[in-house]
A and B are shown apart, each in its own frame.
Chain A
Amino acid sequence: MHRFANPTQFMRIADAVYPWAAGLSLILFLAGLPIALVTSPPDYQQGETVRIMYVHVSSAWLMMMVYGIVAANSAAFLVWRHPMANLVAKASAPMGAVFTALALITGMLWGQPMWGTFWVWDGRLTSTLILFFLYLGYLALGDAFEDSERGDKAAAILALVGSVNLPIIHFSVEWWNTLHQPSIIKMDGMTVDKSLLLPLFLMMGAFTSYYVAVLVLRLRSELLAAKIRNARMSQVAVNQAAQPAE
Chain B
Amino acid sequence: MTRKRQRLYFVVLGLLGFGVGAALVLTAFQDNIVFFFSPSEVTTRHLAPEQRFRVGGLVEAGSLVKNGEDISFSVTDLSSTLKVQYRGLLPDLFREGQGVIAEGRMEPGGVFIASEVLAKHDENYMPREVADALKKSGRWNEGGATQSGMPANNLKPTSTTPASPNTTNP
* Contact bitstring A168-209, B, C-beta under 8 A = 1, else 0: 100001111111011110101111111111000000000000
Neighbour of B119 across the interface among A115, A176, A178, CB < 8 A? A115
The interface size of chain A toward B, counting residues with CB under 8 Å, comes to 48
Pairs A–B under 8 Å by Cβ, sample size 20: A41-B129, A42-B128, A45-B131, A50-B125, A79-B7, A79-B8, A114-B121, A160-B11, A164-B22, A175-B26, A176-B33, A177-B38, A177-B151, A179-B120, A182-B148, A188-B164, A189-B167, A193-B125, A193-B166, A195-B130
B65 within 8 A of partner (CB): no
A22 touches B (CB below 8 Å): no
Interface residues of B, dominant DSSP: mixed
Task: Flag A33-71 by CB within 8 Å of B: 1 or 0 each.
Answer: 000000001111110001001000000000000000000
Q: List chain B residues, Cβ under 8 A from A191.
A: 122-125, 148, 164-165
For chain B, the bracket of interface size reads 35 or more
Beyond A50-B125, A176-B34, whether A44 also contacts B130 by CB under 8 A is yes
A68 to chain B, nearest CB (A): 13
Chain B residues, CB < 8 A from A184:
123, 125
- List chain B residues, Cβ under 8 A from A193: 125-127, 130, 165-166, 169
List residues of B whose CB falls within 8 A of some A CB.
Answer: 4, 7-8, 11, 14-15, 18-19, 22, 26, 30, 33-38, 56, 90-94, 101, 116-132, 148-152, 164-167, 169
Of A41, A45, A46, most buried by chain B (CB within 10 Å of CB) is A45
Residues in A neighbouring B11, C-beta threshold 8 A: 75, 78-79, 160
How far apart sit A164 and B16, CA to CA, in the bound complex (Å)? 9
**In the assembled complex, which residues on chain A have CB atoms less than 8 Å from the CB atom of B119?**
114-116
A174 to B166, CA, bound (A): 22
Asked if A41 meets B101 with Cβ closer than 8 Å, knowing A177-B34, A177-B56, A192-B165, the reply is no
* Contact status A116-B91, CB under 8 Å: yes
A174 to chain B, nearest CB (A): 7
Contact with B along A80-96 (1 / 0, CB 8 A): 10000000000000000
Q: Which of B35, B132, B148 contacts A120 (CB 8 A)?
A: B35
Q: Is A137's CB within 8 Å of the partner chain B?
A: no
- What is the CB-to-nearest-CB distance from B145 to chain A, in angstroms, rounded to a whole number? 9
Q: Which residues of B contact A196 (CB under 8 A)?
A: 125-127
The answer to whether A164 touches B19 (Cβ under 8 A) is: yes
Q: How far is the CB of A69 from chain B (nearest CB, A)?
A: 16
How far does the alpha carbon of A115 sit from the alpha carbon of B92 in the complex, in Å? Answer: 8
Tell me if B127 and A195 are in contact (CB < 8 A).
yes
